Amino acid sequence: MKTLWAPWRMKYILSEKKGECIFCEFPKQDRSKDKDNLILYRSSHNFVIMNRYPYNNAHIMIVPYVHTPSLDGLADDVLLDFMKVVQHSITSLQKTLMPEGFNLGINIGKVAGAGMEEHVHLHMVPRWAGDTSFMTVLGEVRVVPEHIMDTYDKLFAAFHS
């Protein structure tokens, strides 16, 4: 039997699930809640939030404030800002964690793998040589080498410097 310890998930498991869109609700909350909500950065039309259950260390998402299921629901100024925030995110991750590459993806529609299919967002996953090691290949387990809040503090500083 395999055991994978993830004690930080208990808070989520026991929390009340309201069925609301977190991408709409979190940015509406007071900015003093940004760290609890893992929001790293806010622009005029988009924000950056860490994935609470990441595929890899520093897995972030770029999210428009507009609640729409696809890119065609976004105005030109929102799209331009979206890509500028993607660019700023890459720069911030590079100077903080020095990844050797990135996976960027937008899942549109449930069959495409969208977990939050009603609110479009871009996943950015930094990659390093060897980050898919024997643990992932043989054990079907991902190893995230740093606590999410430690990564948050590093990235927050980089996004705002």
* Interatomic CA distance for residues 53 and 45, integer angstroms: 24
Q: Which of 115, 129, 13 is nearest to 61 (CA)?
A: 115
pLDDT tens, position by position, for the chain (161 residues)? 556 566 666 776 677 767 789 999 999 999 999 999 999 999 999 999 999 888 789 999 999 999 999 999 999 999 999 999 999 999 999 999 999 999 999 988 888 777 788 999 999 999 988 776 554 544 555 666 688 999 999 999 999 99
DSSP code at position 86: H
* Interatomic CA distance for residues 134 and 69, integer angstroms: 36
Task: Give the DSSP H or E segment for 126.
Answer: strand 122-127
User: CB count, 10 Å around CB of 59?
Assistant: 19
Residue 42 has φ and ψ, to the nearest 5°, of -130, 130
Instruction: Give the domain extent around 144.
Output: 19-159
Q: Which of 28, 79, 23, 88 is nearest to 52 (CA)?
A: 23
Is residue 7 domain-resident?
Answer: no
What is the bridge-based pairing of β-strands 60-64 and 122-127? Answer: antiparallel
Domain count along the chain: 1
Whole-Å CA distances, 43 to 39, 60, 111, 130, 133: 11, 15, 30, 33, 36
Residue 4: its pLDDT value, please?
Answer: 58
Is residue 14 domain-resident?
Answer: no
> What CATH code is carried by the domain that includes residue 148?
3.30.428.10
Is residue 11 domain-resident?
Answer: no
Alpha helix locations (H) across the chain? 9-14, 22-28, 34-37, 76-97, 134-139, 148-159
Is residue 42 domain-resident?
Answer: yes
Is residue 5 domain-resident?
Answer: no
Q: Coil, strand, or helix at residue 132?
A: coil
* Interatomic CA distance for residues 44 and 78, integer angstroms: 8
